[in-house]
Structure 1
Amino acid sequence: MKSFRADYVFPVYADPIKNGIVTVNDQGRVIAVTDQNNPPDGPIEQLSGVICPGFVNTHCHIELSHLKDKIQPRGGLVDFIKDIQTFRDADNKQVTDAIQKADEEMYANGIVAVGDISNSNLSIPVKAASKLYYHTFVETFSFLPQNAEAIFNKAMELLSEFKPQSCSITPHAPYSVSKELFKLIRKHSDAEQNLISIHNQECEDENKFYRYKLGGFIELYKHFGIDISHFKPQARNSLQSIIPLLTNKQQVLLVHNTCTNLKDIYFIKRFDRKINWCFCPNANLYIENRLPKIQLFIDQGFNITLGTDSLASNSSLCILSEMRTVQKKFPSISTEKLIEWGTVNGAKFLGIDDEKGTLEPGKTPGLNLITGLDGLKITPETKVRRLI
């Protein structure tokens, strides 16, 4: 057994403990979390900083890791999508080597579980051998109604390749999935366990397209040769348009939410849907050079999580870095709250909070040490080190 004492221990399920002590066994299972007045038997390693559970990254694209530094930042989502398609194809070994390296980077950065988007089977071997827990979202694209069934069947085939790993079928985004394909995914989700993760309102053009059938997406469809004559403007934002198409049987993660407003949030509350939010602030700055209005989402009764997005849109795969970006822009959001978003909230969405997310006896959540804080505020010098 090993025991660690730090300036603070954040169990997450309970209040922070000053001069707290965490004891784990050789398998990383938490034996006890105590204060200095009730020390365990045996030696205790003294550390400076905050001990918290391992991080949960609810949104990543590990198979895009080979695109690091290949895409021009701050060009907007429409150009980003074009660049992804231009640079995506590469030698399989180059792609899988980058996937392996990204997996190791997340492990070193204290991440214990990942919700990962996949469009191919290239990440399967790395995930099978990884020390991290992965849930793979097999992503579907098709804005053409006539292609819905073929695309869905192809996704089901890929899903079977990922099994028995944890996996599900998911729509990519409102602008890339037809109503017919949404309905096929909902039917599947109503019948069996099928977590959903959707890119949501990453740019104003998405809302503009749904409201008025105007904006940058018109040029994007033209660029890819997609006939959108079937689509009629909805006179409301994309999120409000797709919420009725989603299952009410599964947890749904809405990712990015860069242009989500208070009316969208209130609209969701009128529906019986299990909505979770995921913020990937560094990717939002990389692509659109703007952040979501995160303060609008707090205290609205929804589960909030954090993600890194891919190395195509981020310099690193590090949840602490995402926390730093959020707190710099929104200093009223405490480190304690951000740790909650980056641990137990992600574990709850992925359905693994019986093992991950909190420092409770019997769990194997991983242990992170956060150092370089100013009081309990995150600074440019703040770092994370994996203890277990």
Structure 2
Amino acid sequence: MKIFRADYVFPINAEPIKNGAVVTADDGKIISVAEDIPPDYAHITIEEFSGILCPGFINAHCHVELSHLKDKITDGEGLVTFIQNVQLHRNATQPEIEAAALAADEAMYKNGIVAVGDISNSNVTVALKAKSKLYYHTFVEAFGFLPQRAEEVFEKSLKLVSEFNPQPCSVTPHAPYSVSKDLFKLIKRYADNNRNLMSMHNQECEDENKFFRYKLGRFNDLYAHFGMDISFFKPQARNSLQSVLPLLSSKRDILLVHNTCTNLKDIYFLKRFDHKIHWCFCPNANIYIEGTLPKIDLFIDQGFNITLGTDSLASNYKLCILSEMATLQKHFPTLSLARLLEWGTLNGAKFLGVDNNMGSLEPGKTPGINLITGLNDLTLTSETKVRRLV
């Protein structure tokens, strides 16, 4: 057994414990979390640290298979150009893609991440995930804005899901602007009748809303770039999220990712429906792509579960949840460390359905233990670092 003590322990499911101690078994299972060490364990050497202890992080949104695109896409050019560049550069040899994905997996482990909600468009990460120390739930993305391709795209997605089985895996729509109503309906029917967790990119830029409201903006250029005839699409007179929400399953949990341009009307619109919505913020990717951040204050205390993700190395410099927290606290200084840690641990575990074993320091769980150092009065700084202890 091991005993770790630090200035503070953040169990997440309970209030922080000053000078707290965590007792673990050799396999990392939590035995005790308290201020005082149980008498039965008094003979065990205590490892003492300056900093705080918290559970392992949950990366609710990532694209491991795009890791080979690190440093290949210029930042700050906007979502439409970013999509074009991803398509331009994403083709590489399988060994190159696999090597980059493996390095990303190992980096996430080192950065204290224990579970990942990962987007896949191919089978290139199947073997990696089977051997990884991390827990993965793979979201197979369905792409297809042309209605006539809905059946073909959906069947292709189901085939890819079968290649990931028995790993946790589900079919999910990519984004409002890349999925036709016909394809949305096929995914909804499937989700209604199968255990099928979903994760959808949502409102990453103003052009997305502009396209759905008026059929104006740069998405018209994007479809033209890919040679697509979108004459069938009619303006919806409402934002993208409001347009597609009725097409999503109300029986399954849905993660809405990015939400860069989601507004209060969108949030209130959601509340009129009985959907199981979770939010995911990837602030470093938002800055990398669009140079802006979601209006985080709008989402707080609205009754929704909030999680954090890293997006991919095509849109981020590293896959580190602590770095995402630091960016949020820098731009929204009223966000407390306790709240950010909850978003980066327990809330992500709840969405992925692994909170029975991860997300909080509770006896019986094996959530991993992270040491966070370099804080200033429980505030993240440029010197803040994470070290995985368990």
Aligned to 1:68: 70
Q: Give the corresponding residue for 1:18.
A: 18
Distance in 2 (alpha carbons) for counterparts of 1:177 and 1:230 = 13
Name the aligned partner's letter for residue 133 of structure 1: Y
Q: Does 1:328 align with 2:330?
A: yes
Could you list the per-position Cα deviations for residues 106-161 of structure 1 after superposition, in whole angstroms to 9, with x for gaps in the alignment?
Answer: 00000000000000000011100000000000001000111000100000000000
2:135 maps to 133
Q: List per-residue Cα deviations over 1:178-199 (Å, max 9, x = no partner).
A: 0000000000000010001000
Residue 236 of structure 1 aligns to a residue whose secondary structure is coil
1:122 partner SS: coil
Give the alignment partner of residue 193 of structure 1, picking from 190, 195, 198: 195
Aligned to 2:27: 27
2:235 partner amino acid = P
Counterpart secondary structure, 2:278: strand
Q: Render the CA deviation track for 1:216-262: whole Å, top value 9, x for unaligned.
A: 00000000011111111000000000110000110000000000000
8 Å Cα contact 2:21-2:37 kept in structure 1:
no
Give deviations 1:294-316, integer Å, cap 9, x for gaps: 01000000000000000000000
Query: Secondary structure at 1:138's aligned position in 2?
Result: strand
Is 1:102 aligned with 2:104? yes
In structure 1, how many angstroms separate the alpha carbons of the residues matched to 2:336 and 2:8?
A: 14
Which residue of structure 2 lines up, in the alignment, with residue 36 of structure 1?
A: 36
Indicate the residue corresponding to 1:246 in structure 2.
Answer: 248
Shift of residue 173, structure 1, vs aligned partner: 0.2
* Structure 1 residue aligned with 2:353: 351
Spell out structure 1 runs of 4+ moving beyond 6 A.
none
Consecutive unaligned residues in structure 2, runs of 5 or more: none
CA distance, structure 2, for counterparts of residue 132 and residue 157 of structure 1: 24
| Paired residue type of 1:163 | N
1:46-86 superposed Cα distances (whole Å, 9 cap, x missing partner): 11100000000000000000000000100000000000000
SS of the residue corresponding to residue 113 of structure 1 reads: strand
RMSD: 0.7
Instruction: State the distance in 1 between where 2:87 and 2:37 align.
Output: 58
Paired amino acid for 2:107: E
Amino acid in the other structure paired with 1:380: S
Distance 1:242 1:8 in 2: 44
1:9 corresponds to: 9
Structure 1 residue 373 displacement after superposition = 0.3
Equivalent residue for 1:307, pick from 303, 306, 309? 309
Match of 2:233 in 1: 231
Q: Deviations over 1:205-224 (max 9, x none)?
A: 00000000000000000000
| 1:37 CA displacement | 6.8
Q: Distance in 2 between matches of 1:298 and 1:228?
A: 37
- 1-side partners of 2:207 and 2:291: how far apart? 14
How many correspondences in the alignment?
388
Q: Deviations over 1:20-62 (max 9, x none)?
A: 0001111110000010375642221111100000000000000
Residue 142 of structure 1 aligns to a residue whose secondary structure is coil
Alignment of 1:89-238 (within 5 A): 89-238=91-240
Give me the identity figure in percent. 68
Q: Is it true that 1:273 corresponds to 2:261 in the alignment?
A: no
Summarize the Cα distance change of 1:277–1:261 in structure 2 as closer, same or farther, 3 Å threshold: same
- Is the CA contact (8 Å cut-off) linking 2:75 and 2:289 kept in structure 1? yes
What SS class does the counterpart of residue 313 from structure 1 fall into?
coil
Distance in structure 2 (CA, Å) of the matches to 1:128 and 1:222: 39
Contact 2:98 2:125 in 1 (8 A): yes
Q: Structure 1: how far apart are the matches of 2:12 and 2:373?
A: 17
| Paired residue secondary structure (2:279) | strand
Question: Structure 2 CA distance, aligned partners of 1:237 and 1:174?
Answer: 10
Asked whether the equivalents of residues 188 and 249 of structure 2 are also in contact (C-alpha less than 8 Å), the reply is: yes
- Flag the 1:85–1:37 CA change in 2: closer, same or farther, 3 A: closer
Distance in 1, matches of 2:49 and 2:146, equals 57
- Give the alignment's TM-score, normalised by structure 2: 0.99
